């Protein structure tokens, strides 16, 4: 029996990252005294940017690297 984590789509992973950071930023801004509306809007914008960043740049490249021909030593 092989135990492996379930396969999760990359868009779902990006959404989860965005929600976690949104909540972290929102509660953090409220904790330091930023007004509720401004904290919500800034956190929402940052969460959307984090979603886009993780969606575009966060995926691992699972392709095999090309087989390289070793360079010969030349004196």
Per-residue pLDDT of the chain (75 residues; tens, 9 = 90+): 778 877 778 888 889 999 999 999 999 999 999 999 999 999 999 999 999 988 888 766 555 555 555 566 665
Domain coverage including residue 42? 11-56
Q: Residue 3's pLDDT is what?
A: 80
Number of folded domains that form the chain: 1
Residues 6+ apart with CB under 8 A from 42: 25, 29, 34
Q: Residue 54's pLDDT is what?
A: 87
pTM assigned to the model: 0.68
Does residue 1 belong to any structural domain of this protein? no
Q: Residue 46's pLDDT is what?
A: 95
Does residue 68 belong to any structural domain of this protein? no
Does residue 32 belong to any structural domain of this protein? yes
Does residue 72 belong to any structural domain of this protein? no
Does residue 75 belong to any structural domain of this protein? no
Does residue 5 belong to any structural domain of this protein? no
Does residue 50 belong to any structural domain of this protein? yes
Does residue 15 belong to any structural domain of this protein? yes
């Amino acid at each position: 029996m092989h135990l492996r984590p379930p396969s999760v789509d990359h868009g779902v992973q990006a959404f989860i990252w965005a929600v976690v950071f949104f909540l972290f930023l929102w509660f953090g801004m409220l904790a330091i005294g930023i007004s509720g509306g401004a904290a919500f809007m800034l956190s929402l914008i940052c969460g959307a940017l984090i979603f886009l960043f993780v969606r575009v740049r966060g995926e691992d490249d699972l392709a095999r690297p090309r087989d390289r021909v070793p360079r010969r030593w030349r004196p």
